[in-house]
Amino acid sequence: MLRSPSKVKGASQHKNPERPVATVREIAIATEAMDEQYRLAVPLACYCQLRRSEVLCIQRKHIDLRHSTLRVEQAWTLSGGEMHLGPPKTQAGRRDVPIPANVVSLLEDHLERFAGIGDGGWLFPGHGDSVISARTLDRQWALAREVIGRPDLHFHDLRHTGLTLVAITGATTAEIMAAGGHESQAAAIRYQHATRERRTAIADALAAMADGRIEPLSPTKGHAGARHEQRTHPAKRRRNSRAECRTTRTRCTMEDDIGKEDVSLLVSALALRKAQPRARLKT
């Protein structure tokens, strides 16, 4: 050994390889490729950022359709060669998860057709009073990922994809930590890596500023977040509205050129709105 690892910068640090991320279109196709009784597991893992162990321990009592929330308060853990149901490993893992509208409709249908009976009924019931095994879910996912041509995607990568999408919307580190049930900032910060969608949206905004199509907003005036609003003549508002429509059509055309499989219109639009400084159409 020529040099001690303790004297080599970064030698003692282990860097995990970057996990693959699915596109929104791939998630939709993979969901349809699953058998009906297991289909809901895919959007739950992605859009609710759940771990596999959290998906498999959901019971009716954890679901609040009225407020579109899901309570995560237990998880499966492996101990002594057997699976045991208990609380999450950390306090941060115990959390209330907002359920997106696109998942609520799927959840309502699943509860009516496939979920167990009563408050203690499993969302993914197996034989008798048991829940399906992780192996059963993995087999289903293995078939679905072959359909979308992504053999590199593991089921856990659905959660990684969901947290990456959360970061793309401009969420803060604290918000990413809350979504993923993380206790450490390091676990959340890695999801704030720059993605191609976000870089493209920011580049589009910079180009628009450079050629004068949009201009930065001046700093917000007032205290405690109060906004200074100016009255706009109705005719001017109509011109602004038409200009916004033209800008939206141009942005969609640019994203279509990049490819719908790689760029979600929703994600790019959110990234553009979150780009700093905020921008408005120049009148």
User: Active-site residues: which are they?
Assistant: 51, 156, 159, 182, 191
pLDDT in tens, 253-265: 333 333 344 434 4
Report DSSP state, residue 283.
-
Identify the bridge partners of residue 281 per DSSP, sorted by sequence position.
214
Tokens 């609040």 locate to: 64
Contacts of 211 (CB under 8 A, 6+ apart): none
Phi/psi for 82 (5° steps) reads: -125, 155
The token duo for 149 is 């041509």
pLDDT at 114 over 80: yes
Q: Identify the top-confidence range among 23-27, 174-178, 211-215, 240-244.
A: 23-27
Among the ranges given (3-17, 90-104, 215-229), the one the predictor scored with the smallest mean pLDDT: 215-229
List of domains in the chain: 24-191 (1.10.443.10), 194-217+238-281 (no CATH)
